[in-house]
A and B are shown apart, each in its own frame.
Chain A
Amino acid sequence: KCFIVFQGEGCRTVPLSGHVGFDSLPDQLVNKSVNHGFCFNILCVGETGLGKSTLMDTLFNTKFEGDPASHSQPGVQLKSSTYDLQESNVNLKLTIVSTVGFGDQINKEDSYKPIVEFIDAQFEAYLQEELKIRRVLHNYHDTRIHACLYFIAPTGHSLKSLDLVTMKKLDSKVNIIPIIAKSDAISKSELTKFKIKITSELVSNGVQIYQFPTDDESVAEINGTMNAHLPFAVIGSTEELKIGNKMMKARQYPWGTVQVENEAHCDFVKLREMLIRVNMEDLREQTHTRHYELYRRCKLEEMGFKDTDPDSKPFSLQETYEAKRNEFLGELQKKEEAMRQMFVQRVKEKEAELKEAEKELHEKFDRLKKLHQDEKKKLEDKKKSLDDEVNAFKQRKTAAELLQSQAQQAGGSQTLKRDKERKK
């Protein structure tokens, strides 16, 4: 029952004559989201020993598993754990990613790289899913980092150059919320100066940190005030001490007790309020609509996709895909051709090898044959000479026999003659 003029869309606003019931739409949408569950991913960047794990434990009122890291890591690594939390009917899949070994190396030039690579890898995974032909986006477990808590060491002076370099590399990829860790090490007056120094350094170096949104009237005021309190000076503690008649999270020193949830002592409550109770949804939205879109745009442009051709005419979807497809097929063909060439080459080589072997065999055969023939001839010659000898022997034998028989005859007659002579 409203008469709002709706500009710029060419649509008239019409009045309703009764209750229709679509005012339940936000509830319908929210119910579906609740059934589906939510996920929230926080990245904690900071030097070893700045209390990252303790702060997470304090923020989420629980003891997450894990042992404190040592200072002797060879490089920066990222450790990630996922937890299922439930509060009333809301199921939250919380992923906490922490740097391990950040700031411990002697040469910190490449320290920021694993962090950037990790954040990009989560964008990449989402992009891959989005580009699939058969995709399941509405059931996808979103691992993209929604908030990056950057832990600043409580030196009281200024930001370290590592901090500036790292934040500069991260500010276009993730929502950065800078916090001063272990801020019970700084006195109140030093803290104010420290915050001013940090803010001015961030501004002068062009580092874009996350601004709590002020466009919605219901939260504009509180968000605006909180923006002025950045970076939040926090203290973490899971130890509870009795103060007055209540149990409170606190740290006890000989000179007094620091209460974590006392806003006069530190900004922990502000951080919790901003990070979880007011802007969690906005952090998720900014990650998706700003940081992810930027990553996607750059990645696709890198791959050679364009929205318009050199003449500024928009490419049709079909043309873009067709062009990419042809390119891909072309590459495939080239590879195929190269493989075919290689194959032909190999075949030729093998053929030559085989021919060579054949030739050798032939030669060997010829040699053997000749050898055989030679042997045979030798044998035949020997046989012939043997035959000749045999013949010769036979002849001599015959001749000898003849002579002998002649001799006998003559001898016989000789004998007769001798006998006759004797008888005379």
Chain B
Amino acid sequence: PHVGPVDSKNEAAMSELVPEPRQKPVVPMKPMGINTSLLGYIGIDTIIEQMRKKTMKTGFDFNIMVVGQSGLGKSTLVNTLFKSQVSRKSSGWNREEKIPKTVEIKAIGHVIEEGGVKMKLTVIDTPGFGDQINNENCWEPIEKYINEQYEKFLKEEVNIARKKRIPDTRVHCCLYFISPTGHSLRPLDLEFMKHLSKVVNIIPVIAKADTMTLEEKTEFKQRVRKELEVNGIEFYPQKEFDEDLEDKTENDKIRQESMPFAVVGSDKEYQVNGKRVLGRKTPWGIIEVENLNHCEFALLRDFVIRTHLQDLKEVTHNIHYETYRAKRLNDNGGLPPMTVETEENHESNL
């Protein structure tokens, strides 16, 4: 235990928000934290363990949506990401199955467990997207679904008698699959991402990247990044939500160099150099999915699952959901404040 400097960020945030109890004879809370020196071990740092135990007990929810034209390997990629059959592949449209006339939304949930951590993973597939001749407004059913989940959550939150844990069906992450044409983004890609980047975290992914050479890949990625920037599309991790300098440097690197991730997916294993690896076998060699020299799958996996999963959920909850809620309450007149109901108060809450 040692005397640490007063965390100025927290202090600043707190001094803005400390509420003053209104009734007398209660003394209002002092806004500034006073730093005190500790002389022996108290045990405050045990709260980390306490918190960890509690979260392990409750488990986690994660909802991931995949969007892209059929045949881009969406299901395979998700299955590869989560090392299990969580998404049902549509291996070509056979005679019984027809291409859906509109975009369908299919959400399937599975429970997976690893290292004592239980996760309810829901994969939301969007068959039919971009597959019609006329694809105008085909993002609308998707936007509608996303907003419906926010609405569901809001309804639960607004109840008087609330559930202890509100079930979270909100889409935390949307993987958008870009066709590896090597040229540029398609108008459909731009339209979709323009509309949806405002309501959900979009992670653009270049699918089936094994059809591009390394140079083609680098150039394509640069062009895609440029196009996204020119069109004002903010994909995850969004610049405006970087919390501190550390976040910013880490995320800048990802935004400006790694993304969009050029990936290859596979659920088949092959023997390479004495090891069993996931890969795709071609006459000219075996593409190893988890080999960083071959494709960026491992980067995507680490990014989405191992480092930023919690952040994806938090941005969804603290920002996208709050934006939806504020808009929704504003449109419906909002909830009048519980103190004196004057016109001034009403306006200040809007």
Instruction: For the complex formed, measure the closest distance between the CB of A383 and the CB atoms of chain B, giving whole angstroms.
Output: 75
B2 interface hit (Cβ, 8 Å): yes
Q: Is the CB of B335 within 8 A of A321?
A: yes
Q: Is the CB of A328 within 8 A of B346?
A: yes
Contacts of B26 in A (CB 8 A): 77-78, 114, 117-118, 121
Q: Pick from B7, B46, B164: contact of A37, CB below 8 A.
A: B7
Q: Is the CB of A87 within 8 A of B109?
A: no
Q: Is the CB of A14 within 8 A of B33?
A: no
Given contact pairs A87-B45, A89-B45, A19 touches B114 in the complex (Cβ within 8 A): yes
Complex Cα distance A296/B160, Å? Answer: 7
Complex Cα distance A293/B43, Å? Answer: 29
Q: Is the CB of A128 within 8 A of B117?
A: no
Q: Is the CB of A34 within 8 A of B48?
A: yes
Complex Cα distance A290/B335, Å? Answer: 24
- Interface residue tally on B, bucketed by range: 35 or more
A264 interface hit (Cβ, 8 Å): no
Q: Is the CB of B306 within 8 A of A21?
A: yes
A149 interface hit (Cβ, 8 Å): no
Q: Is the CB of B343 within 8 A of A332?
A: yes
Given contact pairs A22-B309, A33-B51, A84-B33, A321 touches B334 in the complex (Cβ within 8 A): yes
Given contact pairs A4-B111, A13-B113, A62-B36, A25 touches B119 in the complex (Cβ within 8 A): yes
- Contact string against B for A residues 300-329, beta-carbon threshold 8 Å, 1 for contact and 0 otherwise: 110101110000000001101110110010
Q: Is the CB of B41 within 8 A of A13?
A: no
Complex Cα distance A383/B236, Å? Answer: 111
Among residues of A, the one whose C-beta sits closest to the C-beta of B314 is A32
B101 interface hit (Cβ, 8 Å): no
A356 interface hit (Cβ, 8 Å): no
- Contact string against B for A residues 123-147, beta-carbon threshold 8 Å, 1 for contact and 0 otherwise: 0110111011111111111010000
Contacts of B338 in A (CB 8 A): 124, 127-128, 131, 299, 303
CB within 8 Å: A-B pair count: 303
A397 interface hit (Cβ, 8 Å): no
Q: Is the CB of A87 within 8 A of B50?
A: no
Given contact pairs A14-B110, A30-B51, A133-B350, A141 touches B30 in the complex (Cβ within 8 A): no
Given contact pairs A14-B85, A21-B306, A280-B50, A322 touches B341 in the complex (Cβ within 8 A): no
Q: Pick from B30, B84, B114: contact of A80, CB below 8 A.
A: B30
B196 interface hit (Cβ, 8 Å): no
Among residues of B, the one whose C-beta sits closest to the C-beta of A328 is B336
B212 interface hit (Cβ, 8 Å): no
Binding-face segment, B11-19, B221-229, B279-287: B11-19
Complex Cα distance A332/B341, Å? Answer: 9
Contacts of A306 in B (CB 8 A): 160
Which B residues between 321 and 350 are near A, CB-CB below 8 angstroms? Answer: 322, 325-326, 329-330, 332-339, 341, 343, 346, 349-350
Complex Cα distance A75/B86, Å? Answer: 65
Complex Cα distance A299/B333, Å? Answer: 20
- Interface residue tally on A, bucketed by range: 35 or more
A161 interface hit (Cβ, 8 Å): no
Binding-face segment, B54-62, B135-143, B251-259: B54-62
B292 interface hit (Cβ, 8 Å): no
Given contact pairs A15-B84, A16-B112, A83 touches B35 in the complex (Cβ within 8 A): yes
Complex Cα distance A387/B84, Å? Answer: 138
Contacts of B21 in A (CB 8 A): 117-118, 121-122, 125
A187 interface hit (Cβ, 8 Å): no
Contacts of A134 in B (CB 8 A): 322, 326
Q: Pick from B37, B42, B161, B334: contact of A297, CB below 8 A.
A: B161
Which A residues between 70 and 98 are near B, CB-CB below 8 angstroms? Answer: 75-93, 95
Contacts of B115 in A (CB 8 A): 23
- Contact string against B for A residues 176-201, beta-carbon threshold 8 Å, 1 for contact and 0 otherwise: 00000000000000000000000000
B230 interface hit (Cβ, 8 Å): no
- Contact string against A for B residues 17-47, beta-carbon threshold 8 Å, 1 for contact and 0 otherwise: 1110111011111111111111111111111
Instruction: For the complex formed, measure the closest distance between the CB of A320 and the CB atoms of chain B, giving whole angstroms.
Output: 7
- Contact string against A for B residues 240-262, beta-carbon threshold 8 Å, 1 for contact and 0 otherwise: 00011000000000000000000
Q: Which of B19, B22, B28, B162 has the most CB of A within 10 A?
A: B19
Among residues of A, the one whose C-beta sits closest to the C-beta of B156 is A317
Q: Is the CB of B44 within 8 A of A85?
A: yes
Q: Is the CB of B34 within 8 A of A29?
A: no
Complex Cα distance A195/B350, Å? Answer: 54
A24 interface hit (Cβ, 8 Å): yes
Q: Is the CB of A9 within 8 A of B160?
A: no
Contacts of B82 in A (CB 8 A): 16, 20
A210 interface hit (Cβ, 8 Å): no
Contacts of A245 in B (CB 8 A): none
Q: Pick from B40, B41, B83: contact of A20, CB below 8 A.
A: B83
Q: Is the CB of A282 within 8 A of B25?
A: no
Instruction: For the complex formed, measure the closest distance between the CB of A248 and the CB atoms of chain B, giving whole angstroms.
Output: 10
Among residues of A, the one whose C-beta sits closest to the C-beta of B322 is A135
Q: Is the CB of A81 within 8 A of B42?
A: no
Q: Is the CB of A272 within 8 A of B43?
A: yes
Q: Is the CB of B117 within 8 A of A21?
A: no
- Contact string against B for A residues 13-53, beta-carbon threshold 8 Å, 1 for contact and 0 otherwise: 11111111111111111101111111000000000000000
Instruction: For the complex formed, measure the closest distance between the CB of B253 and the CB atoms of chain A, giving whole angstroms.
Output: 19
B4 interface hit (Cβ, 8 Å): yes
- Contact string against A for B residues 69-86, beta-carbon threshold 8 Å, 1 for contact and 0 otherwise: 000000000000111111
Q: Is the CB of A216 within 8 A of B120?
A: no
Q: Is the CB of A91 within 8 A of B10?
A: yes
A362 interface hit (Cβ, 8 Å): no
Q: Pick from A13, A28, A34, A114: contact of B309, CB below 8 A.
A: A28
Given contact pairs A10-B109, A21-B305, A80 touches B160 in the complex (Cβ within 8 A): no
- Contact string against A for B residues 87-119, beta-carbon threshold 8 Å, 1 for contact and 0 otherwise: 000000000000000000000011111111111
Q: Pick from A76, A87, A280, A331: contact of B341, CB below 8 A.
A: A331
A-B contact pairs, 19 of them (CB 8 A): A4-B113, A14-B85, A27-B52, A28-B309, A61-B38, A61-B40, A76-B25, A78-B27, A81-B34, A83-B33, A84-B33, A87-B42, A90-B48, A114-B26, A122-B21, A216-B57, A272-B42, A276-B44, A281-B51
Additional 12 contacts, C-beta under 8 A, given A22-B60, A22-B306: A1-B114, A13-B110, A15-B84, A28-B310, A35-B243, A61-B40, A76-B25, A85-B44, A296-B160, A301-B160, A307-B160, A321-B329
9 A-B pairs with the lowest CB-CB distances in the bound complex, closest first: A23-B115, A86-B4, A325-B333, A125-B19, A121-B21, A281-B50, A28-B310, A84-B33, A277-B43
